[in-house]
Amino acid sequence: MLNVVTVNAGNYQGQGVAYTNVLFDSVRRNLPEGYEGRFIVFTDDPEGYDPGITVKPLPFAGLSGWWNKLALFKAGLFDEGDRVVYFDLSAVITGRLDKLLDYRGDFAILRDFYRPDGLQSSVMAWEAGKCEDIWYSYVEAGLPEDHPGGDQWWIEQTQLATATRLQDVLPGMFQSFKLSVGIPTVASVVIFHGYPKPHQVVTGWVPMVWKVGGMARAELDQVCNT
């Protein structure tokens, strides 16, 4: 079973349900018809989601913000052997996702856009049951939330030396909004790390893509060509 997952904790950006619905719609319209899998949001805000979304409570009560991502690695959250692909709510889908969701390798995560030796947790992929040390080492450390690097700082503590960098196995698929100019002509996922967030960008290509019923790759390519 493929699980495409995200986390809406504390009503992300004051409109977490809307962000989730846009992400779900964006993923769905950039996959072949009938592609098997389910889209799950883990949340403390269970109302208002698209009926196609599986809504589940946060995996561990009491964590704040991005720290909730670490609990996605708890044992038993998914069936052992399931594939899991995680997206931050602020990720904007601009192209086909088949290759990413078909990925079957070891734990994979983005290389940080500013720190080439670091990790960036906006997109991750793993096999359920194989990365539980991320969560349990965090529990053993007392669930610290005082590091400015957040969840990806902790993931670096256990996975830095061994994690597959998604940019290496899927070159060209990921792009930083801050570090790029103009319409993404190749990338399928644009990462909005820091600010602005997608809802704050009101001109250019972002409002045409980041909405329910927004442009998929073929339509975006037409805009690029124009």
Residue range 32-60, pLDDT digits in tens: 988 999 999 999 999 999 999 999 999 99
Average pLDDT over residues 106-121: 96
Average model confidence (pLDDT) for the chain?
Answer: 94
Supply the pTM of this predicted model: 0.96
Q: What is the pLDDT, as a whole number, of residue 112?
A: 96
Residue range 163-208, pLDDT digits in tens: 999 999 999 999 999 999 888 999 999 999 999 999 999 999 999 9
Q: What is the pLDDT, as a whole number, of residue 225?
A: 67
Q: What angle do CA 73, 69, 83 make, to 5 degrees?
A: 45
Q: What is the pLDDT, as a whole number, of residue 86?
A: 98
Tokens for 12?
């992300």
Q: What angle do CA 75, 76, 82 make, to 5 degrees?
A: 100
Average pLDDT over residues 11-28: 97
